[in-house]
């Protein structure tokens, strides 16, 4: 019997787990997700590691050893996170080899305190890359204005990047421009463009969380009828931006040189409002093939299907749509939203 995750995989969906811990690595639960749940990548962030370190005893011996050496808290955390990511990269190495690096990726994020520090982000990205020292690592950089230049500079060094925290179409265009600029510089620097990978994490449900609050304040029937629709509409139009900017002469020159497109990675697809179906951001959009699983506090538990849906929960879903009609609907919705008093 075909499982829901196998059906997603057969449809071209890349399931990336948004969670990592020493426990997952040592107990074999992460390997089991690869073998049984079609998981082909992992993303991490500081909150994930905070939960892993503070919720059990898996890291106690490491912390005690580093303390005995006189290491600082920051140095200890750096050691823990980069070691876990490096070990996860080894675990996913066969997936990376089988997909020529498209999947089998593991992301580690630069220090969020550097989000508005371009030079600091560039230095941190290089440091993380050198410490992890695995070809299938992604360095995660936020899409702040200061982060855009850092994204370009990091890619120019031949380092693969996961761009995170993208919410608007305008910023998404800027991210794609930063990506293509980085590849142009990487080419000038003599790097093999076919070995540089990138994803752009465009957030979906968090848009609804903000817009729904504003619609509730308006309080009219027309306003309430628009709830739960902004995130999908915004994401569908984002995918149109993707298709537009990766069909240009500029991109064609890079592709001819061996470059791979920066894949859209649809983030924040777990519903925040319990009134919505938990598969809202999975079943509605259609569209692009690459998606990330984002399961909140317990991704392993959420990888089990809900019986009443007969499908999986909380997949990072396509925010775009290949069909012009659906993109037109999205544009019409946003126009209505702007007219709502």
Alpha-carbon distance 109 to 30, whole Å?
A: 20
Query: Catalytic residue among 37, 66, 134, 140, which?
Result: 140
| Residue owning tokens 């993109």 | 327
What is the side-by-side order of every strand in the sheet holding 137-142? 15-17, 39-42, 105-109, 137-142, 161-166, 198-203, 263-267
140 is catalytic: yes
Element (H, E) at 199: strand 198-203
Alpha-carbon distance 273 to 248, whole Å?
A: 39
Q: Which residues have CB under 8 Å from 298's CB, separation 6+?
A: none
Q: Are 64 and 119 in contact (CB under 8 A)?
A: no
Q: Are 215 and 226 in contact (CB under 8 A)?
A: yes
Alpha-carbon distance 37 to 301, whole Å?
A: 12
The 8-class DSSP code of residue 106 comes to E
Burial class (CB in 10 A: 0-12, 13-18, 19+), 165: buried
The 8-class DSSP code of residue 221 comes to H
Active site residues: 140
């Amino acid at each position: 019997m075909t499982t829901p995750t196998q059906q997603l995989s057969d449809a071209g969906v890349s399931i990336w787990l948004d969670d990592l811990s020493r426990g997952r690595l040592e107990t074999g639960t992460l390997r089991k997700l690869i073998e049984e749940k079609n998981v082909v990548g992992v993303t991490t962030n500081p909150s994930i590691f905070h939960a892993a370190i503070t919720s059990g005893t898996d890291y106690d011996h490491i912390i005690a050893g580093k303390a005995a050496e006189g290491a600082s808290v920051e140095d200890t955390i750096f050691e823990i996170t980069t070691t876990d990511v490096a070990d996860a990269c080894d675990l996913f190495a066969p997936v990376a080899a089988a997909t020529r690096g498209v999947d089998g990726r593991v992301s580690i994020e630069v220090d969020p305190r550097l989000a508005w520090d371009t030079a600091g982000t560039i230095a941190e990205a290089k440091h993380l890359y050198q410490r992890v020292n695995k070809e299938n690592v992604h360095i995660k950089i936020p899409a702040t204005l200061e982060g855009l230049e850092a994204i370009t500079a990091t890619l120019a060094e031949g380092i693969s990047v996961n761009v995170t925290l993208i919410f608007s179409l305008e910023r998404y265009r800027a991210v794609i421009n930063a990506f293509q600029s980085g590849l142009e510089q990487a080419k000038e620097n003599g790097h093999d463009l076919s070995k540089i990978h990138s994803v752009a994490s465009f957030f979906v449900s968090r848009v609804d969380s903000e817009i729904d609050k504003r619609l509730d304040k308006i309080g009219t029937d027309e306003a309430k009828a628009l709830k739960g629709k902004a995130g999908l509409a915004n994401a569908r139009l984002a995918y149109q931006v993707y298709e537009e900017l990766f069909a240009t002469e500029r991109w064609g020159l890079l592709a001819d040189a061996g470059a791979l497109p920066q894949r859209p990675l649809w983030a924040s697809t777990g519903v925040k409002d319990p009134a919505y179906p938990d598969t809202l951001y999975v079943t509605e959009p259609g569209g692009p093939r690459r998606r990330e699983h984002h399961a909140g506090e317990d991704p392993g538990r959420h990888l089990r299907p809900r019986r009443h849906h007969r499908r999986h929960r909380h997949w990072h879903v396509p925010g775009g749509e290949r069909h012009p009609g659906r993109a037109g609907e999205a544009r019409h919705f946003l126009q209505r939203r702007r007219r709502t008093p």
